[in-house]
Structure 1
Amino acid sequence: MNQKILITAVVLIVAFSTVAVLEVSTGAISGLVFEQIPYNYTAKVWIPPTNPADPNSGSLGGFYKINGKGKDFNFYLKLSGAEKSESPLDYTADGLKGTGHIDEIKVTWGTIQSLWNKDVKGAMFNTTFKGHMNLTCAAWTGVTYFQNNNNNFTGNFTIDGVMTDWEGTYTLKQDSFRILGVSDFIYYPNNQKSDGKNVQKSYYL
């Protein structure tokens, strides 16, 4: 599976965290009323080249949508033209789809301060929450569990492909006006973990 697709999955984690922030900003005022409120969110996504020094290493761009009600949400990701360069086992024109749920959420003083200053990223990192989501794309399925304990934003994921399996962890942190992501993962032929290869990737969101 192309590593850009894996990075895209991590980008989605940040997008879904916006749902958690929406719950904080709304729930702090109306409590359980939020559980009945529908929402929609659309934004652009850009994945830089895997190897910027290689002129043949292109970037990926597109958009994602999140819609849901309360703590339950759906998402859809579309990477323009990616189906022309990716294997049909990894990505198709149908895009990436998934369903998620925010299991727990807790407002902190840092959350309130960030929302007051209209700092969405700060609110995300200062809010304690955990959740999970299921992913489907082309011929593979996956699941990820994510959490933020007000100090560390971490998660883990597994992906079951037709010929290759993936599993790993990731950490997100604030870096000035950007978000730095570091992912450590291993990929290997189905059920042959001893033949796995380790990869570490750093990227900015």
Structure 2
Amino acid sequence: MNRNLLFIAVVLIVGIACISLLEVTQGVISGFVFEQIPYNYTSKVWIPPTHPENPNEASLGGFYKINGKGKNFNFFLKLSGAEKAESPLDYTEDGLRGTGKIDEIKITWGTLYSLLNKDVKAAMFNTSFKGHMNLSCAAWTGVTYFQNDGKTFNGSFTIDGVMTDWEGTYTLQREGFRILGISDFIYYPNQEKSAAKSVRKTYYL
């Protein structure tokens, strides 16, 4: 190897090391690269009955889609048959729609390793990010804020309905090949928070 090639090799090694350092500590490169990437993901969702001992209470199933490019994305959730059991003010066959944005993102080595192994869910949990999403369904609107630090994925939400308001938190975690979601929230008549009732829901993605 002549001196010029050796010099180029050293520069490349130092450059890659600097980029890697920026990537791991600042997320500088990931933000630029991520902006160029289109994506489209669909998966099933299952919500167990709140009171499984009640034979008249059934579970709900459906699917969700996430598509977008870079930090901007759209979300769609449809639960089969839910419109038959819910008030038309709360849910209709048009489903739930969301428009969101990833405000911060930092791709890690765990992200890259998961993507190489085609494990999208692991890639999501290994990527640090923060974001928000505006929601609409039936007669209500809402907003959710979420974040993942590479260890814990959690968020909060508020919903403004025609007659009822909701607010709460949720946590997502891996459970085998599925994602387990646990949500704790309260709901109450408009402007009557003192009459709030508490609920805990679990669901699988």
Please tell me the TM-score bracket, short chain as reference: 0.7 to 0.9
Residue by residue over 1:145-190, the C-alpha shift from the partner in whole angstroms, topping out at 9 and shown as x without a partner, is 0000112111000011111111111112223333332222111111
RMSD: 2.5
Contact 2:30 2:105 in 1 (8 A): no
| Letter of the 1:184 counterpart | D
Q: CA deviation at 1:58?
A: 1.5
Number of aligned positions between the proteins: 179
Residue 160, structure 1, aligned to residue 178, structure 2: no
- Secondary structure of 2:83's partner? helix
Q: Which residue of 1 aligns with 2:59?
A: 59
**Matched-pair identity in %:** 78
C-alpha deviation, 1:110, in angstroms: 2.1
- Greater alpha carbon shift after TM alignment, 94-103 vs 78-87: 78-87
Q: Tell me the equivalent position of 1:107.
A: 107
Which residue type is aligned with residue 130 of structure 2? K
Amino acid paired to 1:151 = K
Q: Could you tell me how far 1:83 is from its partner in structure 2?
A: 1.4
The TM-score with structure 2 as length reference comes to: 0.76
1:43 matched to which residue of 2?
Answer: 43
**What CA distance in whole angstroms lies between the structure 1 residues aligned with 2:166 and 2:66?**
25
Q: Distance in 1 between matches of 2:39 and 2:181?
A: 27
The equivalent of 1:87 in structure 2 is 87
Whole-Å Cα distance in 2 between the matches of residues 37 and 114 of structure 1? 17
Cα distance in 2 between the residues matched to 1:159 and 1:141: 6
Residue 13 of structure 1 corresponds to which residue in structure 2? none
Equivalent position of 2:135 in the other structure? 135
> 1:52-88 deviations in whole A, cap 9, x for unaligned?
2222212222222323222111122222222122111
What is the alpha-carbon distance in structure 2 between the residues aligned to residue 122 and residue 75 of structure 1?
Answer: 19
Structure 2: gaps of 5 or more residues? 1-26
Cα 1:127–1:43 change in 2 (3 A) is same
Aligned to 2:198: 198
Moved more, 174-183 or 141-150: 174-183
Larger Rg: 2
SS at match of 1:40: strand
Residues 41, 112 of structure 1: CA spacing in aligned structure 2 closer, same or farther, 3 A cutoff?
closer
Q: Provide the secondary structure at the position in 2 that maps to 1:122.
A: helix
Q: List structure 1 runs of 4+ shifted beyond 4 angstroms.
A: 27-31
